[in-house]
Amino acid sequence: YHSKIHLMGLVTEESSAHSCPNHWEAMLRFLAKEEVSNVYLHLFTDGRDSSQHAALKIVEKFKKKISFPHRTGRLTGYLKAEVASVIGRFYAMDRKKNWENIRKTYELLVFGHGFRAKDIKEAIISGYNRHETDEYISGTVIVKNEKPVALIGENDVVIFINLRSDRARELTKAFVQTDFVLKNQGAFEREKIQSLFFIALTDFGPDLNHTRCAYPSRDIKNSLPVWLNGIKQYYIAETEKYAHVTFFFNGGYDHPVAGEKREMIPSPDVSHYDKVPEMSAFKITRRLLEVMRLKSPEFILLNFCNPDMLGHTGNLEATRKGVEIVDECLGKVVEEAREKNYVIIVTADHGNAEDKIDPLTHEIKPFHTSNLVPFIIVSDKKYQLIKGGIIGNVAPTIIDLMGIEKPKEMIDSLIVHPVK
């Protein structure tokens, strides 16, 4: 078939939760070992888990890793993986059902629609000249002799190198999903590529069964929602973090696993959240207060994403405003919860908003931090907590507060017993 192999995904620093440079290198070494040719790279620039103008430096390091000794028969040469396209993650890794972004990415990869450049360096510099940061680099196809280096087509292989599913699922659907338009409201018309062999590095979900998974996820037994089966559970977030309170929280299942109720409030339809620092926090708060007053669920999981999403913009003033809004909304939620005798936990899984400017270079830092995060219990009782907890302690602490025995799969609660 003269099939081409396409590797696509985020090119970034080692600290990213979505992609790792070492995985790119390992995959290319594997292909070299297997004596594969016709390998092409479709790179998504970062600007969120890295500095906003770090792409040139990141790509320069990356390029040193994409040529390996390659033996074919008695000839020893090099596996030369060529960069075929580049586009910012804002488009390629959309997760809020902005199908126009996915359309632009798909048509870049399949038809070569977009800007043109002779190499990746020119593509990035041209983006900077258009006042684009790495996250927003417009789709650019790399050309040789006035023709695209490579486009994804019939009988080709695609390997999606990203780790996490939440920012990979939409683009994957465009390539593999039957009845794509019918299953995704607002999606674009496209003719499905025939005989495409699509490989995901990790499990992107059961509804994408036309993908092959290189490293299937293990079954997570007795997650918190499962263990609370029989208890009225309610999960709410806006679009940007809906997967975090559902799919990531229940062990990787796209559907409810214990009858839990879920609600997604749409995120604002804007390209830059610093234009609307309130995002959907007020709407979430109004809806949650309504649910608490009318339905009184026994367990509620709520996510306010403003500090993180605004932190990623690098706009310090907008981030500060977003934090103030969350503080206001959280105050209303806590007040109502206290009146209804809920115990409240306030926590996070990473930092971002608290550290936005590099003190040495004065550059904006749009990425996550490794700073410790708070874990606060609001209750009539006083609790002594173990210091140095991890995210895995949160679920058993919730179970402990509810007076339920924890499953053997969970680690310890953060609460020191006996409670005084």
- Taking only the tens place, the pLDDT of each residue in 253-311 is 888 999 899 999 999 999 899 999 999 999 999 999 999 999 889 999 999 999 999 99
Task: Say if CB 5 and CB 40 are below 8 A apart.
Answer: yes
Looking at the predicted structure, is the pLDDT value of residue 379 above 80?
yes
What's the rounded mean pLDDT across residues 58-64? 87
Tens of pLDDT, residues 145-162: 999 999 999 999 999 999
Task: Say if CB 28 and CB 65 are below 8 A apart.
Answer: yes
Q: How far apart are CA 284 and CA 302, in angstroms?
A: 9
Residues of the chain with pLDDT > 90: what percent?
76
State the number of CA atoms in the 13 A half-sphere of 369 facing the CB: 18
Looking at the predicted structure, is the pLDDT value of residue 185 above 60?
yes
101-132: b or e for each residue (b if 16 or more CB lie within 10 Å)?
bbbbbbbbbbebebbebebbbebbebbeeeeb
Residue 86 pairs in a beta bridge with 43, 140
Looking at the predicted structure, is the pLDDT value of residue 68 above 60?
no
User: What was the pLDDT predicted at 73?
Assistant: 45
Q: Average pLDDT over the chain, rounded to whole?
A: 92
Task: Say if CB 382 and CB 420 are below 8 A apart.
Answer: yes
Residues of the chain with pLDDT > 70: what percent?
96
User: What was the pLDDT predicted at 81?
Assistant: 87
- Confidence band for 377, pLDDT divided at 50, 70 and 90: very high
Enter the pTM of the model: 0.77
User: What was the pLDDT predicted at 244?
Assistant: 94
Long-range contacts of 226-231 (CB under 8 A, 24+ apart): 226/250, 226/251, 226/257, 226/258, 227/395, 227/399, 227/404, 227/406, 227/407, 228/258, 228/260, 228/299, 228/399, 228/402, 228/404, 229/258, 229/259, 230/258, 231/298, 231/299, 231/402
User: What was the pLDDT predicted at 69?
Assistant: 57
Task: Say if CB 10 and CB 53 are below 8 A apart.
Answer: no
Q: Identify the residue with better confidence: 78 or 346.
A: 346
User: What was the pLDDT predicted at 75?
Assistant: 42
Q: Identify the residue with better confidence: 135 or 71.
A: 135
Residue 143 pairs in a beta bridge with 148
What's the rounded mean pLDDT across residues 44-59? 93
**Domains in the chain, ordered, with CATH?**
5-213 (3.40.1450.10), 224-401 (3.40.720.10)
User: What was the pLDDT predicted at 251?
Assistant: 87
Distances (CA, A) of 5 to 45, 81, 86, 333: 20, 9, 16, 51
Unique residue bearing structure tokens 């019939």: 154
Looking at the predicted structure, is the pLDDT value of residue 174 above 90?
yes
Q: Identify the residue with better confidence: 216 or 149.
A: 149
User: What was the pLDDT predicted at 29?
Assistant: 86
Looking at the predicted structure, is the pLDDT value of residue 365 above 50?
yes
